[in-house]
Amino acid sequence: MFLFFIFSKILFFLLSPLVWIIALLSYSLFGANKKWKRRTLVYSLIISLFFSNSFILDEFMRIWEVPATKYENLKVYDYGILLGGMVSYDKENDRINSMRSIDRMIQTIKLYKLGKIKKIFISAGSGNLTYPDFKEGIYLRKYLISIGIPKCDIEIEIESLNTYQNAAYTAETLMPDCKNCSFLLITSATHMRRAQACFKKAGINSDTFSVDRYSGARKFNFDHLIVPNIETFSIWVVLIKEWVGYIVYSIVGYV
């Protein structure tokens, strides 16, 4: 399993559009074949324009992301299952830093305060090769307790390294004593499709609450349609990671 974890990290790096562009530009500068040097330069330009276009990215995101659910359309659930991947570790200052996906926890807190979920189950081990001992779930639970959520309403598992293990370890922890419980799965909209499939495979049938959405209302202003945006490259990595992850999980039987 650990080798699969390392392989997935390397694979996602190699599938980054910026890696493709750098490889093509490198060949256009240092390659021996003049004909292919010109072609790779053109290819790198086309790929750059495609992956830097915000409108194109939004359309692909809109197709893939699982739609959000309004608060008023939710019933009351026994557990809100919160998936990790929201914070990183600052070793120098010995503290955690929030990432964009912290919306997962913000929305979970609101759902709890609204009475839409009775308890919070956090599935978050260490997804970091550099700091394998950084168990995210422990820090997230400490934070929730610090803002007034009762410790008795928070459960965690901290051994999972990926989405498959999130589902497997959650089922292993909850299902023996909670066969008739209702579950609300809370994670980023881009991640929800793969996550829900994993949890269903593990025997947990849950409703979904997508957060941290990239796509929204269509925008037709000039900047969004035409002007290249360097930030889109990193967002494409998120989307491509989910596509590849879903395909690989399907092949190995995780979904």
Q: Do the domain assignments include residue 225?
A: no
pLDDT at 96: 80
Spatial CA neighbour of 240 closest among 18, 3, 30: 18
| Distance (Å) of CA 188 to CA 38, 104, 214 | 41, 7, 9
Interval 2-37: pLDDT, tens: 566 666 667 777 788 989 999 999 989 888 888 899
Q: Both 93 and 159 in a single domain?
A: yes
Q: Both 142 and 21 in a single domain?
A: no
Q: Both 15 and 115 in a single domain?
A: no
pLDDT at 242: 95
CB-CB neighbours of 26 under 10 Å: 12
Q: Both 33 and 154 in a single domain?
A: no
Number of structural domains found in the chain = 2
Task: Write out the two tokens for 132.
Answer: 């394998």
CATH code of 114's domain: 3.40.50.620
Q: Both 100 and 192 in a single domain?
A: yes
Q: Both 152 and 236 in a single domain?
A: no
DSSP letter at 67 equals P
56 residue type, one letter = I
pLDDT at 133: 79
pLDDT in tens, the chain (255 residues): 556 666 666 777 778 898 999 999 998 988 888 889 999 999 999 999 999 999 999 999 999 999 999 999 999 999 999 999 999 878 788 778 899 999 999 999 999 999 999 999 999 998 666 677 789 999 999 999 999 999 999 999 999 989 999 999 999 999 988 889 999 999 999 999 999 999 999 999 999 999 999 998 899 999 999 999 999 999 999 999 999 999 989 999 999
Q: Do the domain assignments include residue 218?
A: no
Q: Which domain holds residue 80?
A: 71-211
Q: Both 25 and 135 in a single domain?
A: no
CB-CB neighbours of 218 under 10 Å: 10
154 DSSP β-pair partners: 120
Q: Both 82 and 58 in a single domain?
A: no
Spatial CA neighbour of 181 closest among 255, 75, 96, 253: 75
- Identify whether the C-beta of residue 24 lies closer than 8 Å to the C-beta of residue 31: no
Q: Both 108 and 191 in a single domain?
A: yes
Q: Do the domain assignments include residue 140?
A: yes
CA distance 186 to 163: 13
